[in-house]
Structure 1
Amino acid sequence: MRSELVSIRALLIAATGGLITLVSASAFADATCKVDPQPFARGYCTLARGHHGQWARGTVTVTNDGKIHVKQALETDSGFFGVCGTVSYVLRDAAGNAVATGSTRETCIPNKGHGHARIVNFPEGVRQINPARAASVATVEVHANATRDPQGIFGFTIDPITFSHTWEE
């Protein structure tokens, strides 16, 4: 058995020109949600429609080093209503058990002014979990929520809104 391993090692060294790279299975353990094929999803995994035609979107990816990357976008084509939303997720192992859960705090954009739709892709939020837990993730469930419709008139908001992108646990 030892001579077979030595032969395999010699073959690998010869085939790679003396460079040996060890790759662990967990190096390829990044998991992400599946992109929604609907046109209004605009490349995000989940999509929720507000009461007046606005959109909330979200995508979640977990990397093998334990980083959870959350992307969120909001869109309104209304001169009278903005949109608020959140992104929530559940990371599950192969048995279906929750490995990690989380959500963003409510984030809002005001109604649009004259012209094209107002689309805001917020900066990516990152949260850290134990890399061993991250390596066990088999599925990523993500949900966008259009939570409310702040009122305004052509770019001027009447309702108080917040412009934050932080975590709730």
Structure 2
Amino acid sequence: MRTDYYNDPDAPRPNSVVPSASAIVTDELGRILLIRRRDNELWALPGGGHDIGETIEQTAIREVKEETGLDVEIVALSGIYTDPAHVVAFSDGEVRQQFSLCFTTRQTGGTLAIDHESTDIAWTSPDDIATLNMHPSMRLRISHYLEARMSPYLG
């Protein structure tokens, strides 16, 4: 189980920082691929923690494959998200300060499939994202992507 806190003065104090990566995967219609996380029931971009022995780009590629069944290649860095006001508490007592790099990708193959970490997967129109139950940090990443920034977000 996981609980995300954002700008919450009652959030527990972090005891770890784990680099992670998320990925923006789009289709030919401009829809964004989202998963519904099993651990908090929120819609999110595919992504997860960095493993020893891989680059952060490989983390994003692996997480997309594991969580969606799709093969992707990295196109660009969309943003770096390290806001200390975003804290994630896990049921085992770990409390992480956010440290995530978000990448844009290009699909190269694969077949959509839900894994054990999610309950649903959907190609989502940018116009529909506001209606979804989603953590503010995910909305921020998606909004930065949709702004078509000339350089990655740093924050």
Which entry has the higher C-alpha Rg, 1 or 2?
A: 1
TM-score when scaled to structure 1?
0.24
TM-score when scaled to structure 2?
0.25
